Amino acid sequence: MTQASLSQLQAIASQVESNPKEARKTLRRLAPDLPQTAPVQTALGMTYLSLEQPRDAMRAFKRAIELDAADPVPRYQLGVLQSDQGLLPQAEANLQVAVAATPDDPDYLSALGFNYYRAGKNEQAIETLEKALAAGAENENAFVALGYLYYEAGRLQDARDSFARILDLDPDRGDIYNNLGYLDILTGELDRAREALTTCIKQTDGYLRAEYNLALVSWLQGQQDEALAAYAAARRKDSRDAELQQHIADFDEVGRYYDEDKQLAALKNKLVVAVKTGRLK
């Protein structure tokens, strides 16, 4: 009976892409009579997920846990859904059970680490995400979270390495090239920063933060006229200087890495005046 039910659910899931309406209709008829076993209820939850019905999926995963509290699969699936919905303590509890049952599963570790990151538990997040990567995780969220965690901890090279690994999974992530470029600005690797930011701009048209960062690179390399021209070009696309103001907010951090450079302070003053007056000189 269980295997037959699993086969029925698999057939519905395979129908989702071609005829989702009929798949939902079939599942509504089938669901009430499915066996009350953990594997079937877990498969039911996965089928609901394929139909983009997360509330029904959560209910099915919870029922699977009631039937077999030690099974890590519904714990993991429910934990991921809870985390995405901001139910972080509940997600943590379920994901911890999943990891305890299968300590080397990279997906379970990634999900728990990312939930720690969302909850602001940075030390636990770093430890868990490092375990996930050591276990072979290939989860972009894990690499992104770990990159930001390292950055916030002042571990800039580790942050760069983590962001760079994302490009092995998705080489078209323009935002990651911008992150790499900014980190290279902080560490003084300005030629490398220019390369990363140029790639970002080529891949993602209108990525103003990268355009501003590239202008900053030019300024730091002594190419002041080029820098001001680049700032002016970016500002023409920047409604109410919204991105520029975010860029200016970075100057305090950049300044700490450049010993409060007077030329950097002069640029910041120019940009602040430009925001106030609308004119960049």
Same domain, 119 and 166: yes
Same domain, 208 and 257: yes
Last residue of a domain, one of 123, 144, 171: 171
- What does the alpha-carbon distance between residue 189 and residue 23 come to, in Å, rounded to a whole number? 54
Residue 135 belongs to domain with CATH number: 1.25.40.10
Per-residue pLDDT at 161: 96
The reply to whether 80 falls in a domain is no
The reply to whether 199 falls in a domain is yes
Last residue of a domain, one of 142, 171, 200: 171
Same domain, 89 and 154: yes
The reply to whether 272 falls in a domain is yes
Last residue of a domain, one of 143, 171, 199: 171
- Asked whether 161 and 133 are in contact (CB, 8 A), the reply is no
Per-residue pLDDT at 86: 98
Q: Which residue type occupies 31?
A: A
Per-residue pLDDT at 209: 97
The reply to whether 229 falls in a domain is yes
- Asked whether 78 and 113 are in contact (CB, 8 A), the reply is no
Which letter does DSSP use for residue 240 in this model? G
The reply to whether 74 falls in a domain is no
Mean pLDDT by 10 residues, the chain (281 residues): 88 92 93 94 95 96 97 98 98 98 98 97 98 94 94 97 93 96 98 98 94 98 96 95 97 91 93 94 84
Q: How many domains does the chain have?
A: 3
- Domain containing 263 equals 190-281
**Number of C-beta neighbours around residue 172 at 10 A:** 9
The reply to whether 150 falls in a domain is yes
Alpha carbon distances (Å) from 278 to 49, 71, 244, 248, 268: 50, 61, 12, 15, 14
Secondary element (H or E) of residue 215: helix 208-220
Per-residue pLDDT at 281: 84
Q: Which residue, 228, 165, 217, is CA-closest to 192?
A: 217
